[in-house]
Chain A
Amino acid sequence: MITINNRDKLEWKPGMTIKDILDTMGYTYSLIMVTVDGKLVDDDEYKTFKVHDNASVRVIHIHHGG
């Protein structure tokens, strides 16, 4: 199980990438930063970065608009 933003739970699947998580969560925002277990993941690695089971993933939407 993966924890998103210290709150939401997502079932882990082998080979799961950051992009898979963003797609599953419906996170389509243009200004997103992602950390896995506290470490920042480069935007270019969202498709390839494999998330391990029990990872703590933060998906921070930098607010624009408003």
Chain B
Amino acid sequence: MSGKIDVTINNKKVSIKEDTWLLTALEAENIKIPVLCHHKDLTPDGSCRLCMVEIEERGKRKMVTSCNYPVRSEIKVFTDSDPVKKHRKQLGEFYLGRYPNVPIIKKVAGMCGVTKIERKPYLVDENSSACVLCGHCIRACREFAQEKILSFAGRGIKRHVAMPFEKVDPHCIGCTSCAYVCPTGAIQIVDDLNNPLDPQLIRDHGMKVNAEMATLDDQQCRMRKVGTANIVDVMDNYDLLPINNYQYGTHEEVWKIDSWMLQRKYFTQGLPDGCWKGCSMACAKTIDNFELKTGPYKGQKVTVDGPEYETAAGGSNMGLFDMDAIAEFNFYCDTYGIDTISAATTIAFVMEAFEAGIIDTSVTNGLEMCFGRSDSVLELLHRMSRGEGFAVDVGKGIRWLKNQWNKTLNLTDDQKAFLQDIGMEVKGLEVSEYVSKESLAQQLGYGMAVKGPQHDEAWLIFMDMVNNELPTYEDKAEALYYFPLWRTWFGLYGLCKLCWNDVTPADNKMSAEPQKIPDHVHNYFKFVEGMTGRKLDEAGMLEESARVHNFQRLMCLMLGKGRRNDDYMPFRGIGPVTVKEYESRSDRYDKQLKEIVGFDPEGKPVEEKLARLREYREEQYDKTLDVVYRRRGWDNNGVPTMERLRELEIDLPEIVAILEEYQKSG
């Protein structure tokens, strides 16, 4: 957001954003400048000297390399003056003399006014794909892959590009960035893993993402610095970070567990982890030399794999604003083979039940399960790993606990209903770490997800709640048609989601549907085409995915969890359950009651306002459910129709049998 500066280019006045590289400004004016070491996705280097132009600043003239000259003052620029022409001619002769057959050199020399060499120099490389020492590959290795596999070796006429000690470096991750940026073809990739049909197509589109990571990530998601934990701060700022079992969405102590704290004091590793060869996002982060304070490894220094967003947010959901405690929770969950999301959400539920007096220490085997008690959380984990008492019950999850407590504790109907409201699970799976109360589309995204309330089918909070891009039922239904199918689709191919929307092309906002990030969707289609030769478009992708998604839904039905009743969120995910929760956002809820529900909240008891809000929101949920079912080609009970199965050509006897069984049972 810097200011503009008036610059005169070849006697023409233009206004340029402060700190723009001069070369970029010249190119914007359609002035052709010869370059060799410059690459649009790499940090300017200025080493080839071809881009030099003359500038005049405060009456003094000088030559500067335009690629790495930031415009910060009012200057005059001359791109065709005598000193510039002379300089270019000398360089053109030098480059063409040494590399006479390399196409890019011929082109650049031509721009310098040199097309042939009168006297053959001492040092000539006749190879048409010779390395011209531009340094692209070295910078790409550092900036795309964050490695230092390549460097210049030798001096003077012996200067060349090499790996350490002139040997193949085993640390090379095979990202092929060096070949992608090489302007002469001097670097060729010879191993094509998995024998793709068109490896070049895959590389070219993968490299687009790597280039975006190198140039945009610092301003966008900071994936390379903090991974997915970058959204802890975002969620807190937008009232979406789960606090104390999703009661609230923001907390004054979040700074103790946010991404800046992780970056400053915890993360020690952030290199590409090789989960996808060649990806330079480096989203995996670790904490080295972390000294454990509890459990069987107490006192030992270990490496913690994480925390990622969901684990850190699971911490806030348990009221833990202590990164040491969250890191230790992360380590022991991993060590014991426990999912951090299910563990955190279940423990948060236990904590709220404990604080509400529904359970006490006689149930928890003496553990004080209050929000924020990291000692209790960690002790519970250790007991769970040893298979001891109450901890084993917690390990069975929220649905099991609700049923067990309803049966074994002497609960009132109100207490049972309260547990149902605050137990954040659907289809037996715990909800992931986002507050969905203010986004109807996200509530259904969670509620309808086939495997349970994970956000990897649909994550529509911003589109719906903040942007108001889905104002009608039909808008919500369309988003709940497209995004779950898109997200299911790349999962089917084993392709990662992060390079879809955790970096975004600089020009994405110019696209017709920016939320889909169409350029990145296109990349995925090209990955498939490069691998298999099969061309795909959006319609083809949706059809492929719908075949599997509908099949999954029928399997869900077969397992007893694929009907309308199985698609409801507990009310905590839809709106405020308690008086305290309502009062924490009374302005928001009162406004909604008055302006949308048509109920004047003035002077009314909170209990009455809660009831009216609940009635309205549950009705909205039901109505939207109807529209989404229709959009998906499912009946009013959430079951795919025979017509839809035929349309998708998945009306196989085994699948039809599931549907017939359902129809018989009614």
Task: Verify if B309 is at the interface (C-beta below 8 Å from A).
Answer: yes
Take A62-B504, A64-B220 as given contacts and tell me if A26 and B2 are in contact as well, using a CB distance cutoff of 8 Å: no
Q: Tell me how many residues of A have a C-beta within 8 Å of chain B.
A: 26
Min CB gap B442→A, angstroms: 9
Q: How far is the CA of A65 from the CA of B230 in the complex (A)?
A: 9
Cβ-defined contact, A30 with B237, below 8 A: no
- Whether A40 is near chain B, meaning CB under 8 Å from some CB there, is yes
Q: Does B295 contact A (CB under 8 A)?
A: no
Query: Does B469 count as interface, using CB distance less than 8 angstroms?
Result: yes
Inside 8 A of A65's CB, which chain B residues have their CB?
A: 221, 228, 230-231, 234, 309, 459, 501-502
Partner of B504, one of A5, A31, A58, A66: A31
Residue B1 is within 8 A (CB to CB) of chain A in the complex: yes
Q: Are B228 and A30 in contact, with the CB atoms below 8 A?
A: no
A60 touches which one: B2, B434, B467, B502 (CB < 8 A)? B467
Report how far A66 CA is from B479 CA in the complex, Å: 15
Residues of A contacting B533 with CB < 8 Å? Answer: none
Check A12 for interface membership: any CB of B closer than 8 A.
Answer: no
Residue of A nearest to B434 (CB): A66
Which residues of A lie under 8 Å from residue B501 when comparing CB positions? Answer: 62-66
Inter-chain CA distance A58–B459, complex, in Å, is: 20
- Beta-carbon contact of A62 and B502 below 8 Å: no
* Structural contact, B514 and A40, CB atoms closer than 8 A: no
Does B509 lie within 8 Å of A47, measured CB to CB? no
**Cβ contact within 8 Å between A30 and B1:** no
By the criterion CB–CB under 8 Å, are A62 and B1 in contact?
no
Measured CB to CB, the nearest residue on chain A to B234 is A29
Closest Cβ of chain B to A49, distance in Å, is 10
In angstroms, Cα B463 to Cα A58, docked, is 12
> Do residues A33 and B514 form an inter-chain contact, with CB atoms below 8 A?
yes
- Indicate which residue in A5, A28, A58 contacts B237 across the interface (CB closer than 8 Å): A28
B455 within 8 A of A: yes
| Interface 1/0 per residue, B508-531 and A, CB below 8 Å | 111000110100000000000000
Interface centre among B1, B17, B219, B237 (most CB of A within 10 A): B1
Cα–Cα, bound, A59→B465 (Å): 12
User: Using an 8 Å CB-CB cutoff, how does the interface string of B611-642 with A read, 1 for contact, 0 for none?
Assistant: 00000000000000000000000000000000
Question: Is the CB of B540 closer than 8 A to any CB of chain A?
Answer: no
Secondary structure type dominating chain A contacts: loop
Measured between C-beta atoms, what is the minimum distance from B548 to chain A in Å? 21
Q: Decide if A37 is an interface residue (CB 8 Å cutoff).
A: no
> Could you mark each residue 42-59 of chain A with 1 if its beta carbon is under 8 Å from any beta carbon of chain B, else 0?
011011100000000011
- Docked Cα-Cα span, A26 to B501, in Å, equals 22
Nearest to B510 among chain A residues (CB) is A40
Task: Chain B residues near A64: list those with CB within 8 A.
Answer: 220-221, 231, 501-502, 504
For B455, the chain A residues whose CB sits under 8 A away are 66
Contacts of A40 in B (CB 8 A): 509-510
Residues of A within 8 A of B509 (CB): 33, 40, 60, 62
Chain B, residues 1-21, CB within 8 Å of chain A (1/0): the string is 111000000000000010000
Asked, given contacts A30-B220, A33-B509, A62-B509, whether A5 binds B468 with beta carbons under 8 Å apart, the answer is yes
B299 at the A/B interface (Cβ < 8 Å)? no
Asked if A7 and B504 make an inter-chain contact with CB atoms under 8 angstroms apart, the answer reads: no
Chain B residues whose CB sits within 8 angstroms of the CB of A31 once the complex forms? 220-221, 504
Verify B462–A61 contact, CB threshold 8 A. Answer: yes
B459 pairs with A6, CB closer than 8 A: no
Q: Which residues 184-243 of B sit at the A interface, judged by CB distance below 8 A?
A: 219-221, 228, 230-231, 234, 237-238
Given A40-B510, A43-B1, A44-B2 in contact, is the A62-B471 Cβ separation under 8 Å?
Answer: no
B466 at the interface (CB under 8 A from A): yes
- Produce 1/0 per residue, B77-113, CB < 8 A to A: 0000000000000000000000000000000000000
**Shortest Cβ gap from A20 to chain B (Å):** 12
Can you list 26 A-B contacts with CB-CB less than 8 angstroms, sorted by A residue number? A5-B468, A26-B238, A29-B238, A29-B462, A30-B219, A30-B221, A33-B514, A44-B2, A46-B1, A47-B3, A48-B3, A59-B466, A59-B467, A61-B466, A61-B467, A62-B509, A63-B459, A63-B460, A64-B220, A64-B501, A64-B502, A65-B231, A65-B459, A66-B434, A66-B459, A66-B461
Query: Nearest 10 pairs between A and B by C-beta?
Result: A66-B459, A33-B509, A65-B231, A5-B468, A61-B462, A63-B462, A7-B468, A47-B1, A28-B237, A64-B501
Given contacts A65-B228, A65-B230, 15 further A-B contacts (CB under 8 A): A7-B468, A26-B238, A30-B220, A31-B220, A40-B510, A44-B2, A46-B1, A60-B469, A62-B501, A62-B504, A63-B461, A63-B515, A64-B221, A64-B501, A66-B434
